[in-house]
Amino acid sequence: MFQTFTPNSKDSNPIIFKQLEELQPDFSYNSSSFYCTFSLKGMIISYIEVLETNNTYEIISIYVNEKYRHRLYGKKLVKFIENRASKQNIEKIVTKLIQCKGFFEKLDFQLENNEFVYDKINERKKRYNENSKILIFSIIGNIVLAVSKISVGITGKSRSLLADGINSLSDIATSLGMLIGVYYSNIPEDDEHPYGHEKIESVIASILGIIMIVTGFELMKNNFEFLYNFSKVSLHTTPTFTTIYWGLFSAIIKYFMYFYKNKIGIKTGNSALIADAKDSRNDIFTSLGAVLGILLAIYINPIFDILMTFPVALIILKEGFHVIFENTHIIMDKQDKEFLEKIEEYLEENIYVENIHDFKMRSSGNRIFLNMHIRLLGETSISQGHHLSETIENSILTDFPEVKEVLIHIEPIIKQ
């Protein structure tokens, strides 16, 4: 269990300080710092001391009971501090504990002027803010479009504009679901989800693909039924010219939605937002198809108000299947051969290691987790092998920012 406290004096938390002194005999108390401890069965097994100054957290000390160091409690303490820093808008975490070089390097701290610096605290928050802003804009825009197109479609007697308005209703529900998904995808990794929560974006994108397929199918089915009964409908169903303006207005708004969703989706690596951008692009064709159908209905025959919805329905169906297949590959960890070849070429050019093989990767949102095997001579010491694997890991993490973690399996070369 994590516990954070800022003592006014050593006497304010006598039980905790007694346990800390038993944990680390040379423990020293600082009234300016705050402490975070982790306990098992009521006993403190690790702690971290942090000093807050000028929007910066400085890690003064960190200690883990030797019996539990293999369980990564030190890493969990630093991640806990990172989450706290994010909530309090702290800009960076620093430490002068140079003796813990390997530990902090594995946590993405960078050595600058004889101290380790971690300045990626607000990356998650920035990603969340960028995604949520465009989705809120999308929800508001679709509410305006749905209400206006449905009301004008009814009063203006346009079947295609009414269908387009109903399509905008489904877009509202989709964006609301995505907004929830963006929130959960930005929750930091935990014990149950060590690779983070970003894959929920691909799950939501797949659900969006299903909604697109259902929308396209229903649009086609309803218009087949209306077309079948068209002979019973009199010519007074010819749409009014006003409906054209609302169709064009919808296409313009949808273009801006598509442009900004696609831009932010690519920038933040959000597959669900990219899928939603494609849905907005489909809506451009839906609105333009409605406009063309209305024009043909006014000047040639009212039946065109129905006929022009069929190619639009086919486009929506096609994109729905494409989104599902694309995101299923992400969920099932399809290998990006081009990226893996780039990693292999990079290692061959920069680090002299023979027999690098079995490259594998998994994606989680905008992050990549990389696995590989290397073969070393059987007489290579554990220390030498560890140093080499750390060199490879740090090199990849530095030159490939999208890579979050590198796991290297070392195999011996046995001479015959």
Contact between residue 33 and residue 62 where contact means Cβ atoms under 8 Å apart: no
pLDDT digits (tens, 9 = 90+) for 352-392: 666 788 888 888 766 788 998 888 887 778 888 887 887 78
- d(CA 160, CA 243) in angstroms, rounded, equals 10
User: Residue 341: pLDDT above 70?
Assistant: yes
Q: Name, in order, each residue with C-beta under 8 angstroms of 351's C-beta and a sequence gap of 6 or more.
A: 391, 392, 395
User: Residue 55: pLDDT above 90?
Assistant: no
Q: Which CATH number fits domain 337-413: 3.40.50.980, 3.40.50.150, 3.30.70.1350, 3.10.330.20?
A: 3.30.70.1350
Q: Which residue has the higher pLDDT, 290 or 10?
A: 290
The model's confidence at residue 338, banded by pLDDT at 50, 70 and 90, is confident
- Residue 282 has a pLDDT of 83
How is domain 2-118 classified at the CATH fold level?
A: Aminopeptidase (3.40.630)
Q: Where does CATH 3.30.70.1350 sit in the chain?
A: 337-413
Of 87, 90, 82, nearest to 52 by C-alpha is 90
User: Residue 246: pLDDT above 80?
Assistant: yes
Beta strand 56-64 with 92-95 is parallel
Mean pLDDT (the chain) is 82
Give, in order, the Cα–Cα distances in Å from 168 to each of 71, 116, 215, 282, 294: 50, 50, 10, 11, 18
The model's confidence at residue 235, banded by pLDDT at 50, 70 and 90, is very low
The model's confidence at residue 95, banded by pLDDT at 50, 70 and 90, is very high
Long-range pairs for 87-92 at CB < 8 Å and ≥24 separation? 89/55, 89/122, 90/52, 90/55, 90/56, 90/57, 90/121, 91/55, 91/56, 91/119, 91/121, 91/122, 92/55, 92/56, 92/57, 92/117, 92/118, 92/119, 92/121
Helices 271-299 and 200-228 meet at what angle, rounded to 10?
A: 20
At residue 149, the 3 state secondary structure works out as helix
pLDDT digits (tens, 9 = 90+) for 123-177: 777 778 888 899 999 999 999 999 998 899 888 888 778 878 877 877 887 788 7
- Residue 8 has a pLDDT of 64
- Residue 233 has a pLDDT of 54
- Residue 353 has a pLDDT of 67
User: Residue 416: pLDDT above 80?
Assistant: no
pLDDT digits (tens, 9 = 90+) for 1-13: 677 777 665 556 6
How many angstroms separate the most distant Cα atoms in the chain? 93
User: Region 24-28: what's the mean pLDDT?
Assistant: 81
Q: What is the CA 239 to chain-centroid distance, rounded?
A: 44
Contact between residue 236 and residue 210 where contact means Cβ atoms under 8 Å apart: no
Q: Where does CATH 3.40.630.30 sit in the chain?
A: 2-118
- d(CA 292, CA 150) in angstroms, rounded, equals 18
User: Region 187-216: what's the mean pLDDT?
Assistant: 79
User: Region 207-212: what's the mean pLDDT?
Assistant: 82
- Residue 12 has a pLDDT of 60
- Residue 86 has a pLDDT of 76
Q: Where does CATH 1.20.1510.10 sit in the chain?
A: 123-331
User: Region 325-335: what's the mean pLDDT?
Assistant: 83
> Which CATH code for domain 123-331?
1.20.1510.10
- d(CA 370, CA 377) in angstroms, rounded, equals 23
- d(CA 74, CA 48) in angstroms, rounded, equals 8
Q: What is the DSSP letter of 230?
A: G
Write down the pTM of the prediction: 0.63
Residues forming a β-bridge with 63: 47
